[in-house]
Amino acid sequence: MPTPARSRRSRRGTLSRERVLRASLVLADEGGLESLTMHAIGRRLGVQAMSLYRHVENKADLLDGLVDLVVSEVEVPMSSADWKAAMRQRAISARRVFARHPWAIGLVESRPRPGAVTLRHHEWVLGVLLEAGFSPVMAAQAYNLLDSYIYGFALQEASLTYGSPEEHAEVGQATLQRLPPDEYPHLARVAREFIEAGTEYGAGFEFGLGLILDGIERAQAEADPRDVPLGRESSRLATSTSVTD
């Protein structure tokens, strides 16, 4: 019969970076980033917190690994011959991923040392756009615009999620009661029609995405690469993909 010490050694022996990151992902999904401590991760895995440092350097390394796990869930099409279809599929998948991991919305683009999975994802997106005839500057601007929409929508959707459809309807009715039609006629009308139709906030994602993709297509067709400067507004991607020592 194994002794307690041998059992602990056995658990440590099967510990890996992948297991540490997967356990951390579950904890973050359950309680957000504030619940993500080395002691909590150790308890989840049945090991001492110090043993985790054999697989992650520190909290920053842990977060970088989590970002790669989240990004790995974003589906991209096998064929990228149609750049609009490829960007649409990626955006829809990314929104679903952030719905599963809302704590990651602000984390993905904040890491100064993106991991290999994240870098490969950037490479894929830029490759699709460049092969479609975008200039490097236009590709970066299109990528930034799409991600700004995806992250912004996901953040607002997370803040407006109230659990079950019944809870959502209750919140809607309570909001409507605070909107007297004589004082807020437009707000009251729109809120009432949304509630009656059972429309969820997320239903508008693909509508907005379509407008953005159509706008990017027009801008790309009309752009003269010599007239498009790479300014501060286009430098986010370059910053997010830089790897420092």
Tell me the per-residue pLDDT of 149-208, one tens digit each, with 9 for 90 and over.
999 999 988 887 655 566 666 777 787 788 888 888 888 888 788 777 666 667 789 999
Instruction: List pLDDT tens digits, range 23-73.
Output: 999 999 999 999 999 999 999 999 999 999 999 999 999 999 999 999 999
Within a domain: 138: yes
In which band, very low, low, confident or very high, does the pLDDT at 106 lie, cut at 50, 70 and 90? confident
The CATH code of the domain that includes 32 is 1.10.10.60
Q: pLDDT value at position 10?
A: 47
Give residues with Cβ within 8 angstroms of 112, minimum separation 6: 242, 244
Q: Cα–Cα distance between 91 and 87 in angstroms, integer?
A: 6
- 185 shares a domain with 100: yes
Within a domain: 88: yes
- 51 shares a domain with 120: no
- 86 shares a domain with 34: no
Instruction: List pLDDT tens digits, range 124-155.
Output: 999 999 999 999 999 999 999 999 999 999 99
Q: How many domains does the chain have?
A: 2
pLDDT surpassing 80 at residue 96: yes
Within a domain: 66: no
Note down the domain range covering 107: 73-240
Within a domain: 103: yes
- 42 shares a domain with 111: no
- 117 shares a domain with 144: yes
25 touches 65 (CB < 8 A): no
- 182 shares a domain with 148: yes
- 88 shares a domain with 51: no
Q: Cα–Cα distance between 90 and 80 in angstroms, integer?
A: 11
Q: pLDDT value at position 234?
A: 47
- Exposure pattern of 59-85 as b/e (b: 16+ CB <10 Å)? eebbbbbbbbbbbebbeebeebeebee
pTM score: 0.79
- 49 shares a domain with 157: no
- 105 shares a domain with 212: yes
Backbone angles phi, psi at 220, to 5 degrees: -65, -40
- 173 shares a domain with 124: yes
- 142 shares a domain with 98: yes
